[in-house]
Amino acid sequence: MEVLQLQSQGKLYVVGIGPGKKDLLTLKAYEVLKNADVVLGHKRYIEFIKDIVRGEILESSMGKELERVKIAVELAKDKKVCLVSGGDPCIYGIAALLEEYIEMNNIKINYEIVPGISALNAANSLLGCSVSGDHVVISLSDNLIDWEKIEYRLRLMLRCDVPLVVYNPSSTKRKNNLKKALEIVLEERGDVEVAVVKNAYREGEKIEIKKVSDVDVEEVDMSTLLIISSSERIVKEKKLVTPRGYSLKYEVGAKTKKAKEIAEKSAEFLRKLVPGDDLRSEIVRRAIMASGDLGYRDIIFFKGDPKVCVEALKSGAKIIVDVEMVRIGLRKDAIAAINFAKNSEDTRAADGIRNLGKEINGAVVGIGNSPSAAIALCEIPYKPAFIVATPVGFVNAAEAKEMIRNLEVPSITTFGTKGGSGVCAAILNCLIEYARSD
């Protein structure tokens, strides 16, 4: 009953107002600020929203958070009150203080937290995804936490090799914390790039990408957020991007200038040896590239049209390979038969192929290592859509591939003893890429 009575009279909103610019307020924040009887907050945040407010404004200064919470709780008994916080109120904001205060003092109050765009989200959008997946966040403020603990956490976080976001890097009183923190970064991660974002979406916005050793501690203030890059990063003028791995998965490609030069030279060389823009020529070039063996020009055999494989992949055919070494080399998810082996007299890859049974129907099957798996594939009553078989070795390899060629299934095989997991993966990747770009 008591709570119901409170609800009908007043309510406290803890409102995140985002980084500063009004168009980054949420609609909800805008509504509650406009309709509030009283709005309380630090004067620098009040500044951003005061022209929306129609009620009374109570400004206060830094360090008076508890006092502000107490006043807000009291006023909210019979008024609509907004307690504002920069960014999001739950992230290094005032919401946690309110939660602790009402818990410790057993206060019953009608309240709601209105989320906001945190400095991390704001900076991240300006930088072009410095945080694009896993990341860690730390505040260098030792107001509430001992510096030793911050240092301990910082070291552990840096060892994760994911981007590290630093809130509260500095204040006029705390320049030394940032200096010490940057030394630890240098020890743990080296002289990597750091994004220094000052006043994101506010007047005085400034974005710089620097090396850790070039960060000027004097230039970093309490309106600055730092993002320390991980070992995977793309740096471009004012952008610091952490790739999520799409390019690895979906694009073939050398990354550095040197690697690109090498790739271009070898592509040029191979084009002279195996000219032709068709899929078959490209497959032969890939096999030569993967093995360094020009002999592949003469030993790759195409039964049927490899475009059958491309079509199967395009319509979602599963890829099943014999061993992990082939699976790991692929630019698409696949399953390795060897993981389906039970107890058997046969090799594990062959046993896995048998146990996969009807899963083989309509699949694209790659055999890069195991002649026994290729033989098993010929013996089971299931029919793949396409086979790439390049098992290698001096026992049964040549015979197994001959058996594959005799199946009524289109395939790519090699004659003789040559082949291997790398060649199999290279051929499959060529087909996968063709299916994606076709």
- If one asks whether residue 177 binds ligand SAH (CB under 6 A), the answer comes out as no
Taking CB under 6 A as the criterion, the residue among 197, 284, 290, 435 binding ligand SAH is 197
Query: Site residues for ligand SAH, window 1-20 (CB under 6 A)?
Result: 19-20
Smallest distance from ligand SAH to CB 194, Å: 13
Judged by beta carbon, residue 123 or residue 313, the one nearer ligand SAH is 123
How many of the chain's residues bind ligand SAH (CB under 6 A)? 25
Q: By CB under 6 A, name the one of 45, 101, 167, 386 that touches ligand SAH.
A: 167
Interatomic CA distance for residues 334 and 366, integer angstroms: 10
CB of 11 to ligand SAH, least distance (A): 21
Helix (H) or strand (E) holding 414: strand 411-414
Distance CA 211, CA 315 (A): 47
Q: Does position 222 bind ligand SAH by CB under 6 A?
A: yes
Query: At 336, which amino acid appears?
Result: A
Smallest distance from the beta carbon of 409 to ligand SAH, in angstroms?
59
Q: Is 54 or 64 the residue whose CB approaches ligand SAH more closely?
A: 64
- The reply to whether 84 sits near ligand SAH by the rule CB under 6 A is no
Choice between 87 and 422, CB closer to ligand SAH: 87
In the chain, how long is the greatest CA-to-CA distance? 89
200 touches ligand SAH by CB under 6 A = yes
Q: DSSP states of 225-246 as a string?
A: EEEE--SS-EEETTEEE---SH
DSSP characters over 118-156:
-HHHHHHHHHT-S-SSS-EEEE---SSS-HHHHHHHHHH
Is 93 a binding residue for ligand SAH by CB under 6 A? The answer is yes
45 counts as binding ligand SAH under rule CB under 6 A: no
Q: Which among 57-65, 105-113, 216-224, 354-362 is the span making contact with ligand SAH, rule CB under 6 A?
A: 216-224
Which residues lie below 8 Å from residue 292, measured CB to CB, with a gap of 6+?
Answer: none
CB of 181 to ligand SAH, least distance (A): 13
Burial 329-365 (b: 16+ CB within 10 A, else e): bbbbebbbbbebbeeeebbbbbbbbbbbeebbebbbb
CB 323 within 8 A of CB 368: yes
Distance separating alpha carbons of residues 161 and 189, to the nearest angstrom? 8
Q: How far is the CB of 25 from ligand SAH (least distance, A)?
A: 13
111 or 201: whose CB is closer to ligand SAH?
A: 201
**Residue 130, Cβ neighbours under 10 Å: how many?**
28
Q: Which amino acid is at 30?
A: Y
Report which residue type is found at 144: L
By CB under 6 A, tell whether 96 contacts ligand SAH. Answer: no
**98-137 residues near ligand SAH, rule: CB under 6 A:** 118-119, 122-123
Residue 197 or residue 334: which is nearer to ligand SAH going by CB?
A: 197
CA distance 150 to 152: 5
Q: How far is the CB of 182 from ligand SAH (least distance, A)?
A: 15
Q: Taking contact as CB under 6 A, which single stretch among the options 44-52, 165-173, 301-309, 349-357 is the one that binds ligand SAH? A: 165-173
SS3 content of the chain, % helix, strand, coil (to 5): 45, 20, 35
**Contact region for ligand SAH (CB under 6 A) — 24-32, 164-172, 179-187, 209-217?**
164-172
Closest Cα to residue 425, out of 340, 331, 341? 331
**DSSP result, 274-339:** S--SSHHHHHHHHHHHHHT-TTHHHHEEEES-THHHHHHHHTT--EEESSHHHHHT-SS--EEGGG
Question: What span, in angstroms and rounded, lies between the C-alpha atoms of 120 and 242?
Answer: 14
Residue 110 DSSP class: -
**Options 73-81, 104-112, 197-205, 366-374: segment touching ligand SAH (CB under 6 A):** 197-205
Residue 182 vs 288, nearer CB to ligand SAH:
182
The minimum distance between CB 332 and ligand SAH, in angstroms, equals 39
Q: Select from 69, 91, 154, 157 the one that contacts ligand SAH (CB under 6 A).
A: 91
Binder to ligand SAH among 42, 202, 307, 318 (CB under 6 A)? Answer: 202
Q: Which is nearer to ligand SAH, 197 or 364 (CB)?
A: 197
User: By CB under 6 A, is residue 48 in contact with ligand SAH?
Assistant: no
The residues of the shown chain that bind ligand SAH, judged by CB under 6 A, are 19-20, 85-88, 91-93, 118-119, 122-123, 167-169, 197, 199-202, 222-225
